[in-house]
Amino acid sequence: MNEILKQIADVGVVPVVKLDSPDQALPLGQALVDGDLPVAEITFRTDAAEESIRRLTGELPDLLVGAGTVLTVEQARRAVGAGAKFLVSPGFNPSVVQFCIANGVPVIPGINSPSQIERGIEMGVSVLKFFPAEPSGGLDMLKAFAGPYTGVSYVPTGGINAANMKNYLAFNKVLAVGGSWMVKPELVAAGRFEEISRLCREAVMGALGFELRHVGINEPDADTSLTEATLMCDLFGFALKEGNSSNFAGTAFEFMKTPYLGMNGHIALSTLSVDRAVAFLARKGIGTRPETEKRDAEGSLTVAYLDREIGGFALHLLKR
């Protein structure tokens, strides 16, 4: 996949930003970075777009800046000239798509019908904006698209919010979701950048969807593992499940038959996307133990241990 599109997938959320003045650009961009959401789609809905993109790309190197609502080739040219790294449009405009292909700029054109998807496929576009997502039939519509069109992924946008984003992101044809709910124009106009950061952080955590899956406890040998797992079941009413390398008491407690990673054991966290979780944690300076990584047939990570322990427990990521 194109490196820019991969960066978008690794964040999972694209804020759709409308700025009335270029003076709002840097505080807004900083609020996104502070909220762990280092992507912005600056829309050409106002005259401030071009200069805002120029300032953001010049001053905030950690922010991936694209242009949105690109309706004409002229706007596409201005956006790219100002430094936009990707372009998004609400509909499928072949001239804009052609310009982007010719200039090697990733483009995410809007579609909401099979015919439009086929135009995209014909022109070699593999990521499409599903717009407006909710009024066009939402996740059910997208799942129906995925039947005939297997090689395409989508950025649903339009009516997405903190509550419904997770359902979209749990579908493997969804590269990321887009929306304005965390960068509402009224918040920008009122200079409420801390609130924007809070909403961004909430969106990012929603895209990661971390949940505690189980606690793994290192035992010295198989006999002790079984004795302790059985005790846990007797005391608290869990069902015993014997396995090859460990025994489970219910689903929350795993008793290893030989000591594995972590001084005391491991904490397993499930996530909507291990790739996205690994990218997020890398931005926090935490890496994985490469020998523990597992991938599915499509190359997506399903399992990884982190190179950091907490409280003597290794941290184990699992795809939900």
Give me the active site residues, please. 41, 129
- Least distance from C-beta 159 to ligand 3PG, angstroms? 5
| H or E, element range at 119 | helix 114-122
For ligand 3PG, which is the closer residue by CB, 19 or 274? Answer: 19
The residue whose Cβ lies closest to ligand 3PG is 179
- The DSSP call for residue 158 is S
Residues of this chain that interact with ligand 3PG (CB under 6 A) are 16, 69, 90, 157-160, 178-181
The structure tokens 């439009």 sit at 116
Instruction: Return all residues near 159 (Cβ < 8 A) that are at least 6 apart.
Output: 132, 133, 134, 135, 138, 179
For ligand 3PG, which is the closer residue by CB, 76 or 232? Answer: 76
Instruction: Return all residues near 245 (Cβ < 8 A) that are at least 6 apart.
Output: 256, 257, 258, 260
**What is the distance between the alpha carbons of residues 257 and 147, in angstroms, rounded to a whole number?**
43
Beta strands in 120-194 (DSSP E): 127-130, 153-156, 177-179
- Least distance from C-beta 71 to ligand 3PG, angstroms? 11
Residues 5 and 87: beta-carbon distance below 8 Å:
no
The pairing of beta strand 127-130 with beta strand 153-156: parallel
**What is the distance between the alpha carbons of residues 238 and 249, in angstroms, rounded to a whole number?**
6
- Least distance from C-beta 12 to ligand 3PG, angstroms? 15
Structure tokens given for 292 = 């523990």
- Least distance from C-beta 120 to ligand 3PG, angstroms? 17
For ligand 3PG, which is the closer residue by CB, 89 or 288? Answer: 89
For ligand 3PG, which is the closer residue by CB, 100 or 267? Answer: 100
For ligand 3PG, which is the closer residue by CB, 171 or 181? Answer: 181
- Whole-angstrom CA distances from 251 to 3, 148, 170, 182, 215 are 38, 37, 22, 35, 9
- Least distance from C-beta 160 to ligand 3PG, angstroms? 6
